[in-house]
Structure 1
Amino acid sequence: MFHDITVSDLLAKKDQEPHTIIDVRSPKEFKEATIPGSINIPILNDEERAEVGTIYKQAGKEAAMEKGLAIFSKKLPEFIGEFKKVETPMTVFCWRGGMRSKTTATVLDLMGIRVNRLNGGIRSYRRWIVNYLETGRFHPELLVLNGYTGTGKTIILQKLKEKGYPVIDLEEMAGHRGSIFGQIGLTPSNQKKFDAALVTEMLKYENERFVFIEGESKRIGRVYLPDIIYDKKEKGLQIFIDLPLEERVKNIIEEYEPWNYPERFQEAFRLIKKKIHTPVAKEIESYLENGKFIQAVKLLLEYYYDPRYEYSASHFPESQKITIQADSVDDALTKVLETIQRANIGIK
């Protein structure tokens, strides 16, 4: 017989041994939000779930259950076959620990395949995440990378992570680069996905002394930073990186690849056009329309992003700031590492 387990039990199992978490909801539900690291083996696909839902509204619960069972029974061998491929202990879940996960666990048990079932489903996991963000504590201090737009902060974070340093990449989890153009070419996360990914990283690094993070505003694209991280970020050591303007323009062009999304860049610019002096705004718009992205980015930095950044950075006291002058991203990375070594920060 299968066992019901709590979220805390599940997280403990993940830490102790290889463990596979399986979301049996539809692919659409899985895509919207799931438990990080889960795989999707759905009982019903999106179209089948919609069909059963319509029957539920029109004919009631019993008729919907009969239809769902009829659909599921036809694909049962294939469904069980997917679970047989899993070589580790397993936990299954659905929306609230109801019919879908119970059916899955019961059928697998009859076939001699042992699984756990998450009590309360993903709803219980979401409640656990929210409670952790509201009442939990994150012990590491934060080393916060700041700098004008284009200083390569995200690239530096990635390189630090490759070297084994603890890093939480907020923009990667948000699916957004934090600017008005930040969503272009990316898939923005919703708050549920962001919170789950963030807590997963926080638990991973909770025993570290320090964690690198990028200086962000309260909102990144569609998501908001929880106070547990935002407040600690504001109190952390602020490392300001200063690169030459030409280098920053080059970094932005390489990262955003605006020639792949010219119309979207023009659309995004219209959202801030009124905030820039009219003659300059018209010049930027003309550059974007004609594919002169280097010139457009240079003016955007000089007349929009840099002034805004200077204002936002001014509230940190000098005792909390370290400024690094560098010629390139690689030079900045080297100097960041030298800086934290001089400051005797006890990380790798």
Structure 2
Amino acid sequence: MREDTCNYRELFLNDTPMIDLRAPIEFSQGAFPSAVSLPLMTDEERTLVGTCYKEQGQQKAIILGHKLVSGATKEQRMALWLDFCNKNPEGYLYCFRGGLRSHTTQQWLKDAGVDYPLITGGYKALRNALLSVFEDVATQLSFHIVGGKTGSAKTLMVNRLDNAIDLEGAAHHRGSSFGPYVEPASTQINFENQTSIQLLKKQNAGHQQLVFEDEGRNIGSVDLPRPIYLKMQDSPVIVIEDPFDIRIQRLLKDYVIDMVASYIAHYGEEQGQQLCSEYLFSGLDKIRKRLGNERWQILRKEMTKAINQHQSGAGFEQHINWLQPLLEWYYDPMYEYQLSLKADRITFRGDWQECHDYLVETTR
């Protein structure tokens, strides 16, 4: 029977298909993009075996595990594993440490005529390999930071550049009080895994200079990897300076029009409209203290009017009545202050296209 003999990082560079044999709860806390959850045991079965191990020892736990995963249950899980192996002959399987679960599954597959390799060290070894990428990249590559006030399309910039890293995409959050999407944000582990794989692929492609969107220590509920964050704080900044009216229209599309469409697509017209309204009110309520109660009340009143208008089919333009003061009172002053702290690192200013062209020229 085969074990992994290739470099762990190669598995991620090649998007190698993998069977994750860990329990569903382990997978939900953090997994790899190319892995599929096909657990040896359910959460309940894993708990029973774990309790047995603590109380009666390893042998009794193994016996219980074989009893729980036997008969029709074993046949059903074998069918899923065999189907995956047949469709992905270049793949691998793993459990948490490359121990009993992966060896048991591998032996069962072997008995069924399929010699499928497992990963030595399992999930833990793969995860450690990804975590080590952050320090390597921060040490070996140069960074450039794209700044600009809210609505400057910084995320669009990083998605248009071959050497850019989309941190907000990995977090599945836009990094502001209105940052959540309809789908859940990434867990910390998934965010780190996806970011690390992005970095690994850019480095492998030969990029010596990477571009990041200007971010704080966290994006939503996830924290930036420390080596990456520290390197970003000491890197040159390129500032997008687009007109106010252009930024407003971008926010209208991103925060309102696209989110209404997304909620309706997920939940249907009536529930989608209601949930999107809750999303908008929640975003505003998160910054109530920073706005001050008087300004918060003004914006909430305008937001309510605008929501009623678009729900009646009269269009979205009235949302400008709260988006404009939100920028003027809160987001723009906040970013101007943050940018003043980075003044000595600013190397270029221009509109979106000028900044794009500058980055293409200077970071190739």
Alignment map for 1:17-56 (pairs within 5 Å): 19-44=16-41, 48-54=42-48, 56=50
In 1, are the aligned partners of 2:288 and 2:296 still within 8 Å (CA)? yes
Structure with greater helix percent: 2
| The 10-residue stretch of structure 1 (215-224 or 34-43) with the greater mean CA deviation from structure 2 | 34-43
Q: Aligned pair in 2 of structure 1 residues 68, 146: CA closer, same or farther (>3 Å)?
A: same
Deviates further, 23-32 or 49-58? 49-58
Unpaired stretches in structure 1, ≥5 consecutive residues: 327-331
Q: TM-score, normalised by structure 2?
A: 0.80
* Distance of 2:77 and 2:239 partners within structure 1: 57
Label 1:14 to 1:244 Cα distance change in 2 as closer, same or farther (>3 A).
closer
Q: Deviations over 1:246-287 (max 9, x none)?
A: 211211121123545111221232221122143322110112
Equivalent pair of 1:129/1:199 in contact (CA under 8 Å): yes
TM-score (structure 1 length as normaliser): 0.84
Conserved in 1, the CA contact under 8 Å of 2:165 and 2:210? yes
Distance 1:251 1:115, change over 3 A: same
Decide whether aligned partners of structure 1 residues 194 and 340 sit closer, same or farther in structure 2, where only a CA change above 3 A counts. Answer: closer
Residue matched to 2:239: 240
Name 1:329's counterpart in structure 2.
Answer: none
SS where residue 118 of structure 2 aligns?
strand
Is 1:295 equivalent to 2:321 in the alignment? Answer: yes
Shift of 1:18: 7.4
Moved more, 168-177 or 33-42: 33-42
CA shift in 2, pair 1:186/1:65, >3 Å: same
Residue identity matched to 1:41: L
Question: Paired residue for 2:176?
Answer: 179
Cα distance, 1:112 vs. partner? 3.0
Does structure 2 conserve the Cα–Cα contact (< 8 Å) formed by 1:176 and 1:186? Answer: no
- Equivalent position to 2:349, from 301, 323, 328: 323
Report the alpha carbon displacement of residue 199 of structure 1 after superposing the two structures with TM: 1.4
Could you say which residue in structure 1 is the equivalent of 2:311?
Answer: none
Paired with 1:186 and 1:13, the residues of 2 have a C-alpha distance of: 28
Determine the C-alpha separation between the residues in 1 that align with 2:47 and 2:340: 54
Contact 2:24–2:43 (CA<8 Å) still a contact in 1?
Answer: no
State the secondary structure of the residue aligned to 2:22: coil
Partner in structure 1 of residue 185 of structure 2 = 188
Asked if the contact 1:138/1:202 (under 8 Å) is kept, the reply is no
- Three-state SS of the structure 1 residue aligned to 2:282 is helix
Q: 1:269 is paired with a residue of what secondary structure?
A: helix
1:150 aligns with 2:151: yes
Moved more, 169-178 or 77-86: 77-86
Contact 1:148–1:309 (Cα < 8 Å) also in 2: yes
- 1:279-337 CA-partner distances (Å, limit 9, x unpaired): 3221101122232422111111111111111111111234633111x3xxxxx1x3124
Residues 133 and 199 in structure 2, CA contact (< 8 A), matched pair in contact too: no
Q: Which amino acid aligns with 1:300?
A: L
The residue type paired with residue 287 of structure 1 is E
Q: Partners in 1 of 2:159 and 2:178 — Cα distance?
A: 21
Name the SS for the 1:118 alignment partner. coil
Secondary structure in 1 aligned to 2:186?
coil
Query: 1:171-228: CA deviations, max 9, x gaps?
Result: 0101111101212424211221111111111111223122221000011111111232
Work out the CA distance in 1 between the residues paired with 2:237 and 2:166.
Answer: 16
Q: How does 1:151-170 map to 2 (within 5 A)?
A: 151-160=152-161, 165-170=162-167
Q: Is the 8 A contact 1:56 1:64 kept in 2?
A: no
Distance 1:121 1:169 in 2: 27
Per the alignment, residue 129 of structure 2 pairs with 128
Give the fraction of aligned pairs with identical amino acids, expressed as a percent.
Answer: 24
Counterpart position of 2:196? 199
Q: Secondary structure at the match of 2:320?
A: helix
Match of 2:332, SS state, is helix
Q: 1:216 to 1:313 in 2, by over 3 A?
A: same
245, 261, 264: which one aligns with 2:279:
264
Name stretches of at least 5 consecutive residues in structure 2 with no aligned partner. Answer: 261-272, 308-317
Count of matched residue positions in the alignment of Structure 1 and Structure 2: 328
User: Is the contact made by 1:43 and 1:72 (CA closer than 8 Å) also made in structure 2?
Assistant: no
